[in-house]
Structure 1
């Protein structure tokens, strides 16, 4: 229901337009030719401003690039704006989401070239936020008015939960849990029996780099190990709770446990009522788990959580009262302690 183009007055524009009205009244009332001449000049400025701002926006195209964000931390949305006009550059272009105050600015976009604007925003809570409309605006040439144009650019941003919440290390009978799980033969991370060498993949542990071979071939080469079944840690997040502060604390506890497992070099997986993330290790595995946690939806009528291995071999994270039989339990009420 929004018009494709909108015009907003700046503070200077209000004063200038108001002065034009007063000058017009005075010119008509007195019949003074000098006042009519001044009025014509001011109206010409307004007309020229509207025409030039329209030329700045009419041939622009925009694309959005969204990086994953973390709740409560500043994140950037990047806009690539292309000027389809082959003769006129576009000056002073701002880009941002519709109905958002966050804007990125491009001073000039040459004809048939592209420019990049970056808008910084903060998402307070984790989740998946849909993005629909990008607004481009310009106050060129005189700053009297701001002309805006909307572009339909569907997308979404995934906001991860915080991973810096202090949590204790999981234990079973006083020892750190190294739980049974699905084996990933040859995946990087926790070490088992040596298998051989392979090219680097994102998320690999830097400690597994085979430096002699890397120096010889000119690109990273990694040692590959068989996954030891006894080293996969299963994190089970129970979604049977109402949405609220305790639910978000439980998600942050699970995220903190996953981040701690990465720092230790352990393999880990995640199970919720919504799905599972199979065991793995390294930064890429942490991203997969954080994606799943961002999408986790708490509800009181969720089914019972069925872990992929016996509950006694899992770590349960719960927002409410946990059941019995789990290897270790961390609750939101205890703050992960």
Structure 2
């Protein structure tokens, strides 16, 4: 549009010089249009005030977040099309996928628009960024006027939590299940729950020799117990260069998988211990303890979260299951011998010796569908 106007103005000037002076009337009219098209957006946007308010304090990657958008027009004239741009990351560092736009077609003079829209965050952290941008090219599209405004109210966006297809099983758990924490149990502590196959590592004193002789395999009589089932989840991360897209996706996938396992295990009444290598650890996570854990994961290694001093790894307890989630490459020298299962999101395939206990979930694969089957794949 601007180039067309310049060309027409140039043609009108030439016509005025070569043929008739009345052509300069057209030139003057075009100059007036250009002046209005530049000055009016620039002056009017100064009187536009925007306010963004998330209607939820917490959200999740991939789930809709209701946001109230208010734009006040303090001008003495009605204003036209205006676009609000919201970013999930600090200005200048947000890829195109982390930008959200909302168009306001008309704002009455001295009026305010009030819209509630559903935005889908695609990155964990605070949403939206601390600043937004108003953009307008009204009325002629000759000039793009922009104005930034602060956003004091932000929501915490948790990593994506993928629901698992089945319950977190205890098919290789060396302790007792709890009648107080499992709806599948009945009776009191000490009651015989029924025979089951022997699990490697269990004491031979629990073997029922009569059933063993009858079936030809080691059989154990399970007994009810009020002791709690415990699961330790260890998340081992290595911050990658942000320019390496595949490594960054593996990093985020590992955080998402760990959060999914924690959510499912707590929902299945396990007592969950969670260790975030290099940061901190939590013990005995229950439903009330999920919020601080997921809030911490939401802010991990973002602009608003400082790096902490590395903590030593906790030695595994024999009475609990242990699952490692990592995005580091799993070589033969990786110290993982005390983990029952390993979930690896590294783009590099694990060493052959890791295959028995490792599920490889590279970022380019359909890892979400695979993790949904984790209950049967890992613990079946």
Please say whether Structure 1 and Structure 2 have the same fold, judged by a TM-score greater than 0.5. Answer: yes
Answering whether residue 365 of structure 2 is matched by residue 330 of structure 1, we say no
Match of 1:160 among 155, 158, 161: 158
Alignment match, 2:148: 150
Alpha-carbon distance in structure 1 between the residues aligned to 2:70 and 2:3: 29
Aligned equivalent of 1:54, options 42, 53, 56: 42
Name which one, 1 or 2, has greater alpha-carbon Rg: 2
Q: Is the alpha carbon distance of 1:27 and 1:86 closer, same or farther for their aligned partners in structure 2, counting shifts above 3 Å?
A: closer
Unpaired segments of 5 or more residues in structure 2?
Answer: 184-224, 241-246, 302-306, 345-357, 361-373
TM (norm. structure 2) is 0.56
Alpha-carbon distance in 2 for matches of 1:145, 1:270: 54
- Secondary structure of the 1:145 match is coil
Are 2:182 and 2:269, in contact at CA under 8 Å, matched by a contact in 1?
Answer: yes
| Aligned residue in 2 for 1:251 | 255
Aligned position for 2:8: 19
Give the distance between the partners of 1:90 and 1:313, measured in 2 at CA: 64
Q: Provide Cα deviations, 1:38-89, integer angstroms capped at 9, x if missing partner.
A: 2222222222223432343112222334565645x37568463442516334
The alpha carbon displacement at 1:146 in A equals 2.5
Structure 1 position 94 matched with structure 2 position 98: no
Q: CA shift at 1:140, angstroms?
A: 1.7
Confirm whether residue 45 of structure 1 aligns to residue 22 of structure 2: no
1:138 is the counterpart of 2:143: no
Match of 2:52, SS state, is: strand
1:32, CA displacement in angstroms?
Answer: 2.8
Q: Helix, strand or coil for the counterpart of 2:100?
A: coil
2:293 to 289, 304, 310: 289
Alignment-derived partner of residue 314 in structure 2:
306
Mapped to 2, the partners of 1:247 and 1:178 lie a distance apart of 35
Aligned to 1:213: none
Aligned positions, number: 275
Change in CA separation of 1:109 and 1:240 when aligned onto 2, cut-off 3 Å:
closer
Superposed counterparts of 1:65-80, under 5 Å: 65-66=53-54, 70-71=60-61, 73=62, 78=67, 80=69
Query: Given that residues 162 and 260 in structure 2 are in contact (C-alpha distance below 8 angstroms), is that contact kept between their aligned partners in structure 1?
Result: yes
Whether the 8 Å CA contact 2:257–2:325 is kept in 1: the answer is no
TM-score normalised according to structure 1 size: 0.62
Distance in 2 between residues matched to 1:311 and 1:128, nearest whole Å: 39
Shift, 1:105, TM fit: 0.9
Task: Map 1:161-240; keep pairs closer than 5 Å.
Answer: 161-164=159-162, 170=168, 174-175=172-173, 230-231=227-228, 233-239=230-236
Which structure has the highest strand share of the two? 1
| 1:303 to 1:270, Cα distance in 2 relative to 1, 3 A | closer
Q: Distance in 2 between matches of 1:148 and 1:95?
A: 10
* CA root-mean-square deviation: 4.4
Describe the SS at the equivalent of 1:162: coil
